Amino acid sequence: MVRIAIVGAGRMGKTHSGIVKQLPDAELAGIYDLSAKASAALAAEHGTKVYAAPEEIIADPAVDAVVLCHPTFAHYQALRLFLPSGKYILCEKPMVRHRGEAEAIRREPNAATKLAIGFMRRQQPGYQKIKQWLDDGTLGTVRMVKMGCNVAVYKRLWDDWFADFALCGGVPLDMLSHHFNLLNWYFGMPCQACGAGLMFDRPMEQPVDYISGSFVYANGMIVNIDGSWQRQGVGYDRIEVYGDHATALYDQRELLLCRPGQNEKVDLGQPVAPYVEQMKSFVATVAAGAVPAIGVEDGYWAFRTADALIESAKTGRFVTFED
């Protein structure tokens, strides 16, 4: 039985604790939130204990693993605290808020062996199938990719940490780090980034966040990507991968494999719940004492990709990846 403590009793804390409760080979060890009221409410809902401080989790021999689901700006401090304990960690994405933090976490003891990052889109059969087609040559050489994600029911206001670019990194770091992780998994790192963005323009009455950018790869492949949090309209989350043999189109509902004159709808089997699959995989990793499949390097390079796009949008210049 893998015993899991949850840090942060907000949206993701509720999601992850509910999933842990469902799994036969995991149990909730307890909840910690900076707000004692929030921890008490979630702990009562699940009939588990409340930790009064993160140090209590570290000291508790009944905890095998910790799920960090508190705000992004506080991930670094928590990772520095929990990693030396040797307990497994599933950290919600993005791994950290700042470049120096990303570099430091990469060097932390246990980061390479005990840290998993919550890039749950990697559990979706549609994205997995595209990876298979890239690896087995079905798509051929990829020349261009288009990716876009718009959340059209954005309700945040200025007093919310999600609407503070300094705290959350806005749509490029917060939302698109999922997409950058997918791109890095598929293609490795780009050479160059350029972008433009609204990035929480303070004079606007309500926060509106938008970024649009391009990445260029060593082989000349171009990725165009856009991300936005808007208050109306129709949301989307899609990827189009154009190879010289075939094109893959995936929009979360449907995966198409397109060859000249023929668009084939691909059967993705029974729908899966990505957060549940992610937690099952994490629990299996902890039980086996294995290295997480999606770990610190994924978190680091997704961060670097987002950071380059943000820097380009801020400076109006192309940003080149040197290492």
Ligand X SMILES: NC(=O)c1ccc[n+]([C@@H]2O[C@H](COP(=O)([O-])OP(=O)(O)OC[C@H]3O[C@@H](n4cnc5c(N)ncnc54)[C@H](O)[C@@H]3O)[C@@H](O)[C@H]2O)c1
Q: How far is the CB of 35 from ligand X (least distance, A)?
A: 4
If phi > 0 it is left, if psi is from -120 to 50 it is alpha, else beta; for residue 261 that is: left
Of 82 and 242, which has the nearer Cβ to ligand X? 82
Smallest separation, CB 120 to ligand X (Å): 5
Beta carbon of residue 299, minimum distance to ligand X (angstroms, whole number) = 11
In whole angstroms, how close is the CB of 238 to ligand X at the nearest point?
17
Nearest CB to ligand X, comparing residues 199 and 246: 199
Considering the complex, state which of residue 175 and residue 223 has its C-beta at the smaller distance from ligand X.
175
User: What six digits make up the tokens of 178?
Assistant: 């999922």
Contact in structure between 274 and 123 (CB atoms under 8 Å) = yes
Nearer to ligand X, 174 or 237 (CB): 174
- Among residues 151, 66, 156, the alpha carbon closest in space to that of 110 is found at 66
Report the side by side order of strands in the sheet with 255-259. Answer: 262-265, 255-259, 247-250, 236-243, 142-151, 222-229, 209-216, 192-197, 319-320
Among candidate residues 102, 100, 103, 109, the one with its CA nearest the CA of residue 82: 109
Residue 54 or 195 having the CB closest to ligand X: 54
Q: Residue numbers of the site for ligand X (CB under 6 A)?
A: 7-13, 32-35, 38, 69-72, 74, 92-93, 118, 120, 174
Q: Residue 274 Cβ, how far from ligand X at the closest point, in Å? A: 8
